[in-house]
Chain A
């Protein structure tokens, strides 16, 4: 799952399987969340966002689930492809000034 520490968690999945990437956040007042994908040498790419008044949101091959009770988000990727290999991180909007807070991310590796 998501970590802000020095060690980047890694999730390794087989091509075609579903992937689940987790993110824990700390501020119960967080009202908005974004998931990003970052490939090596590139900028973060917007995947999907969700507001705190929703529990679930679906996009193309991706689903984000929000559990406010335990302050947890997950990003589900269906039928994972080699092109999905990247670092994924969530960004809750929280804290003073309502800024986005970015964690270190989770590295997804897709085995062919």
Chain B
């Protein structure tokens, strides 16, 4: 998957607990993205980053925060997980221009009970 590693691959957690998902890339691409995928909604953008310490909100950012302290790592944090955040989370990267030729990781299945 284009040098993208997501961890963990699966996680079950309880409502109200903090959760951090990690995306690691070995491509040295500038742009990184976090999406969630739910039945009937397709992929929806949560947050994205256009460089180290440069991030911005996407379509469904409420309840999520992100950090990018190194080019290769983009972290997604659910400060207090809710059942509505049960989803499959995908990280994506792109190189030269924002929102072109995105390559996706294998995903993290998160279940919030």
Contact = CB atoms under 8 A, between A and B. Distances in A.
A14 B105 CA distance: 30
A1 interface: no
B15 interface: no
7 contacts: A6-B40, A43-B90, A49-B100, A93-B99, A98-B98, A98-B99, A103-B42
Interface of A: 4-6, 32, 34, 36, 42-46, 49, 89, 91, 93, 98-100, 102-105
* Nearest 4 CB-CB pairings of A with B: A43-B104, A102-B42, A102-B43, A6-B40
Interface residues of B, number: 22
B40 A46 contact: no
A32 B99 CA distance: 9
Contacts of B30: none
Given A102-B43, A105-B42, A42 B99 contact: no
Interface string B65-104: 0000000000000000000000000100000001111111
A49 B102 CA distance: 10
Contacts of A36: 104
A28 to B, nearest CB: 18
Given A43-B90, A43-B105, A43-B107, A99 B42 contact: no
Nearest to A98: B99
B58 A44 contact: no
B1 interface: yes
Contact of A99 (B99, B101, B106): B99
B44 interface: yes
A99 B107 CA distance: 20
B112 interface: no
B43 A44 contact: yes
Contacts of A46: 101-104
Nearest to A4: B42
B6 to A, nearest CB: 8
A41 B27 CA distance: 23
